[in-house]
Amino acid sequence: QKIIPVSERKCLIKSQVVGPPQPVVAIVGEHIILPCHLEPAVDARSMAVEWTRSDLKPRLVLVWRAGQKLNLDDENPSYRGRTSVLTDKLKNGDISLKLSKVKLSDGGKYKCYVPTLNRDSVLLQLVVGDVSYPVISLVEINKDSETVVLQCESKGWYPEPELLWLDAEGKILSAGPTETVRGPDDLYTVSSTVTVEKRHSNNITCRVQQRKINQTRETQIKVTGDFFSPLNHNQSLNS
């Protein structure tokens, strides 16, 4: 059994497991870090570290002991091959979880736990978004006023996004209020309607964006006197 020096034991007693106060936000397919560290910092290379999710069976996400990751039979199979710690940062008390190829099912509360620190632990919330392109549909045609009403809807956003209608020149159109619905999975669906004139080369764009996670999705439609035709989808990252 390893003998821990008195000075290190004192540091261990004082150290606490600390995580972020806000939820961690990820997009499906990303590689992310769930932050967790010891404060004051202490070398964690020889410590036991456990990451778990109490809502899952089995609940183990990752177990790190004696300087290596343990591949246990009771590790949740959904996480197999996708978890690790930042080995080069353990000496600085960084016991964060690296999670690869994020899935929607990864969303939930994670427990970062160090048994030697008086069973100290911290809970982190991971919210996973699966953003989608907006879908534009025709709601109404008014032959008298030569106008049409279009609806735009986009699902699976977090945090709550902004929805904009743009004309062919990129100017914001006056539209109805954005309806926002937050589902039981904490993801947002947004929708809005706009009334536009049926005239030649009237290209209308519905843009949904979330600046905090640098995500933008948009769909464009061409409105003419006789028909509506989808032009393209655009995906971009805000700088």
Fold of 6-129: Immunoglobulin-like (2.60.40)
pLDDT of residue 5: 46
**Which ranges of 99-173 does DSSP label H, i.e. alpha helix?**
none
How do residues 27-59 score in pLDDT, each as one tens digit?
A: 989 999 999 999 999 999 989 999 999 999 999
User: What distance in Å separates the CA atoms of residue 71 and residue 212, rounded to the nearest whole number?
Assistant: 36
- Residues 6+ away with beta carbon under 8 Å from 27: 102, 128, 129, 130, 131, 213, 215
Q: What pTM value is reported for the model? A: 0.71
User: What distance in Å separates the CA atoms of residue 198 and residue 118, rounded to the nearest whole number?
Assistant: 70
pLDDT of residue 68: 86
pLDDT of residue 6: 42
pLDDT of residue 200: 46
User: What distance in Å separates the CA atoms of residue 196 and residue 176, rounded to the nearest whole number?
Assistant: 12
User: What distance in Å separates the CA atoms of residue 57 and residue 8, rounded to the nearest whole number?
Assistant: 35
pLDDT of residue 7: 40
Fold of 135-236: Immunoglobulin-like (2.60.40)
Identify the segments of the chain with pLDDT beneath 70: 1-13, 119, 199-201, 225-239
The residue behind tokens 């977090």 is 158
Evaluate whether 6-129 and 135-236 have a shared fold.
yes
Half-sphere exposure of 150 (CA within 13 A, CB side): 32
Show the tokens assigned to 191.
């929708």
Q: Which of 150, 148, 153 lies closest to 178, judged by CA?
A: 153
DSSP label at residue 5: P
Length of the chain: 239
Q: Domain coordinates of the chain in residue numbers?
A: 6-129, 135-236
Angle at 61 (CA atoms; ends 57, 65), nearest 5 degrees: 125
